[in-house]
Amino acid sequence: MSSIHVLLYFTFGTLASLVISRAIHETAIAEKHEQWMADYGCCRAFSAVAAIEGIVKIKTDELISLSEQQLVDCSTNGGNQGCYGGWMISAFDYITQNQGITTEESYPYEAMQETCDLEKQMTKAATISDYQMVPKNDEEALLKAVANQPVSVSRDGSGQNSKFYNGGVFTGECSSRLTHAVTIVGYGTDEEGL
């Protein structure tokens, strides 16, 4: 059995159904994140933002492009170090305490840490009221969370399977080493195995 450890999801109220179309998740996330993270340890900002963008899309049917750079520059609490690593939980704490996050257009991605721009972060495009952790190694709880919304996850990204991953369902081994942040947007496979 594969093991995934630190899992987060948001509390935005109850959705009417536990089953949300995979297409909604894919649309909510895939349209934006082509710039990806060759930028060292910025993955936690991308993972946190993708999860929030996904739930905003699900709740409002509007895809808002949020600012990873704001998290890189401004979420320096809890061990976050710009593009040299950090944790999504600290990013979510920052967004909660800051009462929101701005758009990519207002605070564009620069792929390096700069001084937090207080003026750029003033306009709030999305807020979160709370977040919760999915219990460690509880696949049923993870499935329920992902059925409702994208989930920000830490995993081992150091193995060869991870380094050469280029899409589809990840089938490599997982370990307890947490070195990379990703966003789970669905589960299961279609007729094509994706």
Domain boundaries, the chain: 7-184
Coil, strand, or helix at residue 133? Answer: strand
**Confidence check: pLDDT of 144 > 60:** yes
Q: Are 4 and 174 in contact (CB under 8 A)?
A: yes
> Between residues 37 and 112, which one has the greater pLDDT?
112
Mean pLDDT of 76-97: 81
Q: Are 83 and 43 in contact (CB under 8 A)?
A: no
CATH code for the domain defined by 7-184: 3.90.70.10
**Alpha helices of the chain — where are they, by DSSP H?**
22-30, 43-60, 68-74, 88-97, 139-148, 160-163
Q: Minimal CA–CA distance to 48: which of 118, 152, 173?
A: 152
Single-letter residue type at 97? Q
89 has which bridge partners?
A: none
**Confidence check: pLDDT of 4 > 50:** no
Single-letter residue type at 65? S
Indicate the pLDDT class of residue 29, thresholds 50, 70 and 90. Answer: low
Q: What is the pTM of this model?
A: 0.78
Mean pLDDT of 75-95: 81
